[in-house]
Every structure is written in C-alpha cells, then in structure tokens.
Structure 1
Amino acid sequence: MNWEQLLSLKRFGDTNKRLRKEQDETRLGFEVDYDRVIFSSEFRSLQDKTQVIPLSKTDFVHTRLTHSLEVSVVGRSLGRKVGQKILEKHPHLQNIHGYLPNDFGAIVASAALAHDIGNPPFGHSGEKAIGEFFISGEGQHYKEELTASQYQDLCDFEGNANGFKIVTQSRAGREGGLRLSYATLGAFTKYPKASLPKKPTKHIADKKYGFFQTEKDSFKDVAEELGLITRGDANSLSYSRHPLAFLVEAADDICYTIIDFEDGINLGLIEEEYALEYLINLVRNSINTNKYHKLTNTKDRVSYLRALAINTLINEAVTIFMENEEAILNGQFSISLLDKSKYEAQINDIIKLSIDKVYQSKDVVDKEIAGYQILNSLLNTYSKAVNNTFLGKATNYDKLIMKGLPSTLDFNTDSLYVRLLNVCHYVSLMSDSQAIIEYRKIKGFSL
C-alpha cells in the first residue's frame, strides 16, 4: 500500500478524485468528515447509549458519546504525531501532494469519532442479544431461507459493520450516506472483511467483520480506491487494514483501558489504594511526585494519573507504529499496536481489574439481563410485523406496529435478509432509554 492512495480525499458517492493541493485550508475535506459525523442524528443518540455502566444516573460516568469524543481527541494526537514522522520519512507527500501532519490527525479523529456509531443499546451485550435472537431465539427459523453469509451477519450482528452501513447507506436526500472521504472510511474499518469465513486466522483484522452483505460492494469500492491489499482466498472478501485503522484502534484501546478504569474508581467499584498502584506502575517514569502529593482527593489524583497514562500510551503507540510502518503498509503487521507495547503487562493488569470489578459488577450484569429481554422482545415483535405484512398476513396488531416503523428503511423488499437486517438496524439506532420506552409500549406498560 502507498500513502498517496491511502490519503484519498475522494468522497463516498464522488465520480472524480479530489487533490490535496486544491483543498480550502479553512475547510479541509478530512475536517468536514468530523463535522458530518458530529452533526449526524446517529452520533447524537450515543449520549444515551451504554459505555460500561448501563443507564447510569451519575454525571461522571461515560456514555458512548463522551467515550467517542475522548477517543477522537486521543486519535487526533496519535494521527498528528504519526503524520509528522511520516512526512519526515516521505517528504514528497508534503512537497508534491501538499499533505500536512494535521491531515493525518483529522482522518484518525474523524474515524475515531464514528467508531461506535453503529453500536446498539446496552453496550456489547446489545450486539450479543441481537445475535442470540437468531441463534437460539425466534429468529432461528429464518435460517433455511438465508444464505450462510446472510445468516452469519445476523447471528454475529456487529456494531462495526452497522457503523459502516450508517455512514455509507443512501436514502432520499442523503445519497452516499454521510459522504465521508475514502481515507476516513478506510481508517474507520478495523475489520475489513465479511462475516464469513469467521476468524480464519489470528490476524487482528480477522477478529470480527466490518461490513454486511448489503454493503460489500460499497466496501470493495473503498478498498480498491485506497489500494488495500486483498487477503484470504478467492471465495472470501477480505483486505488488509488501512494503516491509520491501527491508530483508531489504539485510541479506543487507550481510552477504554484507562477511562473505564477511572469510572470504576469514581463509582467506588475499585478500591483507591489498588487503583492508584496500578496507574502509578504505568506512569512511574513520568510522574511528578511533588505535584502528585499535593493532590488531596481521589478524583484529582486519578485525573492526574489518567492524563499521564494516556500521554504515555500515545507516545508508545506512535513509536510502535513508526517502527513497524513498512510491515503495516505491506499488510504483514498482525496484532494491535499496544499488544507490542513494553507496558503490556501493566495494561493487562488494569483490564483484568476492570473486568472483575466493573464489567462484571452486579449493577452491570443486572442491567444487561434486562437489556437482553428488551431487545429480544423488540426484535420478535418487529420482525413478525414486517414479515407478516410482506406476506399479506398482517394482523391488526402488526398493522399498528408498522405505523411506528420509520419510512426511511425498506421493510417491503423481496429480500428476507434485507428486511431482517433493517429491523436489526432500526433497533440498533435506538438509545437505551428509547429501547425501554418501546418495550414498555409493546408490553402495555406505558398506559
């Protein structure tokens, strides 16, 4: 792969290329990507979607929206730092094509801002709940009418693929979706493959999948424009990652490792003495002990250590990226950047404590159980109404349900797969609170 192609300013839906030297510096194309994501309704709904603690009423626990904003800030720093080093190593990118370090920062920040835009309500348990509806719930009887790839898309409903659908799908008045640049779309896609074959290798790009069958041609177009390297056999659609996708992943890894840990401390789920010890182990080489000892409360101490930890891991990720740039461009780098970090042991210690004390806390588990029931009920009700209507068997109840479904999604297509995927997509767009409201309505609790 080469950077000239990878930094494509072409927008989804364009027929012509866009040149960096022709860009308006006050309204740079990659920065437009950021604006389009942040003003989208799908992004706004993240303010009421679970990051770790479902339906938290405290003012300091992160939602998907605050998490996404923080990941974008870290991503921007990663992108700018890497961009500066890339331009020093490949000066023609700046001298001939006009690229600047901030271009890299804007691409990574935009992709990072959108990285969770496709996540359903109730966090990652929401993805699992949608999948289990088709694996072991009422949705399993659709299996015989779907292709293997279509059924796998539903059984492993993936927020990353749903996100690609959101930012690229066309509808009346919104052709080309958000019309993001191809560079940003490439950096956004951490798993540039279809749902099958499932985890064919241990390569990080094969861990999940990045697009549904409905968007496979769209992603193929993006991959070819960017010059992504094809992977797998002739029967699979799989590519090497866009190099900047490693930075988007690193930004996400840094934030959820450190900031989810911080949430656990502030909620009292992780004892301060253990927490501070774990963070100090990560930043021991950069801590100002005089400044630290002047801090008189837990929140300020954790905040100080969090800032140091994030800065430490940003610099570490930049170093690892540049040391492995050639392998990354050749599609031969097969792990996440932080998996190669000298701080891997400290990171793993923090994550393990977060899993034990936060992710598996009673409050989280109880609300995830409720989320399963809510999403299962919504999927069952909507899929029956949609398919009964298509088959001309709609009950009066089905007709009432159909009146509440959006006209922007096609529920009357001949394709059963598309009908079911659009039901899942509709449910995925709901916030946590909206899903609860719809569930209560269906169950008759709202009267």
Structure 2
Amino acid sequence: MNWEQLLSLKRFGDTNKRIRKEQDETRLGFEVDYDRVIFSSEFRSLQDKTQVIPLSQTDFVHTRLTHSLEVSVVGRSLGRLVGQKVLEKYPHLENVHGYQANDFGAIVAAAALAHDIGNPPFGHSGEKAVGEYFKTGEGQKFKAHLTAKEYQDLCDFEGNANGFKILTENRAGRKGGLRLSYATLGAFMKYPKESLPKKPTKHIADKKYGFFQSDKDAFVDVANELGLLKRSDSDISFSRHPLAFLVEAADDICYTIIDFEDGINLGLIQEEYALEYLSKIIRDRIKPENYYALSTKADRIGYLRALAIGTLINEAVDIFMEYEASILKGTFDTALLDKSKYEAQINDIIKISIEKVYQSKDVIEKEIAGYRVLSELLNVFIGAVNNSYNNNASNYDKLILHLLPENNSITNDSLYLRILSVCRIVANMSDSYAILLFNKIKGINIA
C-alpha cells in the first residue's frame, strides 16, 4: 500500500478523483467528512444510546454520543502526530502532493466520530441480542432460506457493518450515502472482511466483519480505490487501511480510561484504585502536589485521566511509526496498544472495569431488558413485513407497518434484504424509542 492512494480525497459516489493541491484550505474535504457525520440523523440518535452504564440522573455517564466525540478528539491528536512523522519520512507527500499533518488528523477524527454510528441500542449487548434472535430465537426458521453468509450476517449482527451501510447507502436523491472521502471510509473499516469465514486467522482484522452481503460491491470499490491488499483468494478480505489502527487505538484508549473514570465517579470503583492503577501509566508525568491540591474526586480523577490519555496517545504514535512499514505491507496483525509497554496496566484496568462496572447490577438489568425489547421488536416487525410481502398480512400486521419508517427494502423480493432492513431499523433506534415501541406493542402504559 502507498500513502498517496490511501489518502484519497475522492468522495464515495464520485467518478473523478480529487487532487489535494486543488483543495480549498478553508473547507478541506476531509474536514467536510466530519461535518457530514455530525449532522446525520444516525449520529444524533447516539445521544440516547447506552455506552456501558445506563443513563442516570448524574452528569457522569457517557452515552454513545459523548464517547464518540471523545474518541474523535483523541483520534485527531493521534492522526496529526502520525501525520507529522509520516510527512517527515515521505516528504514528497507534502512537497509534491500538498498533504498536511492536519489531513491525517481530520481523516482519523471523522472516522472515529462515526465508529459507533451503526451500533444498536442497549450498549454492548445490543449486537448480541439481535444475533441471538437468529441463532437461538424465532429467527432460526430463516436459516434454510438464506445463504450461509447472509445468515451469518444476522447471527453476528455487526455494528461496524451497519455503520458502513449508513455511511455509503444510496437513497433517493442521495447517491453515495453521506458521500465521505474514500480515505475516511477506509479508516472507518476496522474489519475489512465478510462474515464468513469467521475468524480465519488471529490477525486483528479478522476479529469481526465489516460489511453485510448487501454491501460487498461498495466495500470492494472502497478497498480497490485505496489500494488495500487482498488477504484471500476465495473470500472478500483485505488488509486494514493504516489509519484504521489509529481509530481503533483512540477507541481503546477512551473506553479503557473513561469507562474506568465513570465507574469511579459513580462509586462503583474506589478512588484509591485510580491512583494505584493510573499512576503506573503516568508515573513519569504526575505531579503529586497538583493531584492533592484538587478538592473534588471528579477533578482528581479528571487530572489522572488526562495524563493517562496523553501518555497512551504518545505511546500509540511511537508504536505506529515503529511498525509503519509492516502496516503498509499488511503484515502487522495486532492492535497498537497490544504492543504497548503499558499493556499489563491496561489489562488490569479493564479487568476491574469488567468486574465493577460492566457486570454491575444496573448494567446487567439494562442488558437483560435490551434482549427482551429487541427480540420482541424484531419478531413483530419481521413478521409483519414478511406477511405483507406474502399478501397475508393481518389487520394487526398492517397497523405494525405504520410504525416503520419509509424503507424500500422492506418490500424487496429478497428475504435477506427484508430481514436485514428490519434489523437495521431496530438497530438505528435510540434506547428510549425502542422501549417506547416495545411498550406500545405490548399494550403497556397506554393511556
């Protein structure tokens, strides 16, 4: 892979390339990507989607929206710092093509902003809840009528694949989806493969999948435009865009440190743990007199969090540049922070967060409710859509269809596309709206 091709300014849906030196510096194409994500309706819905801890009356809990904004800020810093070093290593990128360090930052920031845009409601269990409906629930009956890869798309419903569809899906009057640059789409694609074979290798890019079968042509188009390397002759699988490693690192840094911070501020984790574990990461930067001068727990934890994030940003940049050549060759096969000298400390923090936060009563209760809500919505909506297609819809089915947004795919001749469309409609709901519809369908709280 080469950076000139990887930094493509061409927009999805364009037929012509865009030249960096011809860009308007006051409205750079990569920065437009950020704007288009943040003004999308799908991004706005993240304000009412659980990150980890269910929404409460406190100011501490992160939603998918605040998490995405923070990941984007960290990603921008990672991209700019890497950009400076890449331009030093390959000066022709700046001297001949006109690329700037901020271009790298803008690409990573936009991709990071969108990284959770396709995730279902109810936190990390949302994807599993959708998948379980097809693996062990009523959705098992569709297996015999779908290809293996189509069925796997549903059984392992993937927020990353849904996000790729949101960013690229053609709509009436909107060819190319949000019309983002190919570079930003490439940085977004953490898992550039289809749903089968499942985890064919231990390579980080094979951990999950990145597109539905309905979007494989669009995915291959992006991969080819960017010059991503093919990793399989029989199935669709490519190497990662190098900047996808930075998007992943930004996410890893934020959820590791900030979920830990949330747990402390909510009283789920003792403050002493923060000083004990975070100080191991920031021991060369922390100033005890500054820490103890802060009068509130939130300020003290915020101080430690800021130092920890800064330390891990610098660490991730150094690792990226150390392995930059193998990343371009597609042979680097782990997350950046897996190479960190702080890996043991990071794992200790995550272990505590799992025990004290992710497995806390409030989180588990929310996830249990999510399974029930999503399963019921899928069952009712898929039934109504398929009954309507088969011309045997009941009056109840017809009423249910009025609850669904306009979507041409729900009338498609393809069973796979109809089911996938319903899954995506449900996945794009906010927590509150999904609960509201569930209650209406069940006849709960009806005045």
Q: TM-score, length-normalised on structure 2?
A: 0.99
Q: Which residue of 2 aligns with 1:174?
A: 174
Q: Which residue of 2 aligns with 1:355?
A: 354
Aligned counterparts of 1:135 and 1:197: Cα–Cα separation in 2: 17
Q: Which residue of 1 aligns with 2:183?
A: 183
Aligned counterparts of 2:250 and 2:402: Cα–Cα separation in 1: 41
Stretches of structure 1 lacking an aligned partner (at least 5 in a row): none
Aligned counterparts of 2:58 and 2:136: Cα–Cα separation in 1: 35
Q: TM-score, length-normalised on structure 1?
A: 0.99
Pairwise CA distance, 1:409: 4.2
Q: Does the aligned pair in 2 maintain the 1:54–1:368 contact within 8 Å? A: no
Letter in 2 for 1:220: V
Which secondary structure state, in structure 1, belongs to the residue aligned with residue 423 of structure 2? Answer: helix
Aligned counterparts of 1:304 and 1:121: Cα–Cα separation in 2: 31
Bigger shift: 47-56 or 392-401? 47-56
Pairwise CA distance, 1:281: 1.2
Aligned counterparts of 2:134 and 2:146: Cα–Cα separation in 1: 12
Q: Which residue of 1 aligns with 2:197?
A: 197
Stretches of structure 2 lacking an aligned partner (at least 5 in a row): none
Alignment of 1:151-166 (within 5 A): 151-166=151-166
Letter in 2 for 1:114: A
Q: Which residue of 1 aligns with 2:262?
A: 263
Alignment of 1:266-415 (within 5 A): 266-415=265-414
Letter in 1 for 2:156: D
1:93-142 superposed Cα distances (whole Å, 9 cap, x missing partner): 00000000000000000000000000000012010000000001011000
Letter in 2 for 1:407: E
Aligned counterparts of 1:160 and 1:18: Cα–Cα separation in 2: 27
Q: Does the aligned pair in 2 maintain the 1:50–1:432 contact within 8 Å? A: yes
Q: Does the aligned pair in 1 maintain the 2:52–2:124 contact within 8 Å? A: no
Pairwise CA distance, 1:411: 0.6
1:350-400 superposed Cα distances (whole Å, 9 cap, x missing partner): 000000000000110011101100000000000000000000110000000
Q: Which residue of 2 aligns with 1:117?
A: 117
Which secondary structure state, in structure 2, belongs to the residue aligned with residue 411 of structure 1? Answer: helix
What is the percentage of aligned positions where both structures have the same residue?
A: 75
Pairwise CA distance, 1:33: 0.1
Aligned counterparts of 2:299 and 2:331: Cα–Cα separation in 1: 42
Q: Does the aligned pair in 2 maintain the 1:30–1:106 contact within 8 Å? A: yes
Pairwise CA distance, 1:262: 0.3
Pairwise CA distance, 1:298: 1.2
Pairwise CA distance, 1:28: 0.1
Pairwise CA distance, 1:199: 0.2
1:30-58 superposed Cα distances (whole Å, 9 cap, x missing partner): 00000000000000000000101123332
Aligned length: 446
Q: Which residue of 2 aligns with 1:241?
A: 240
Letter in 1 for 2:84: Q
Which secondary structure state, in structure 1, belongs to the residue aligned with residue 411 of structure 2? Answer: coil
1:222-274 superposed Cα distances (whole Å, 9 cap, x missing partner): 00000000002x22100000000000000000000000000000000001112
Q: Does the aligned pair in 2 maintain the 1:171–1:408 contact within 8 Å? A: no
Letter in 2 for 1:72: S
Which secondary structure state, in structure 2, belongs to the residue aligned with residue 231 of structure 1? Answer: coil
Letter in 1 for 2:45: S
Q: Does the aligned pair in 1 maintain the 2:55–2:61 contact within 8 Å? A: no
Pairwise CA distance, 1:408: 3.1
Aligned counterparts of 1:433 and 1:50: Cα–Cα separation in 2: 10
Q: Which residue of 2 aligns with 1:438?
A: 437
Pairwise CA distance, 1:290: 1.8
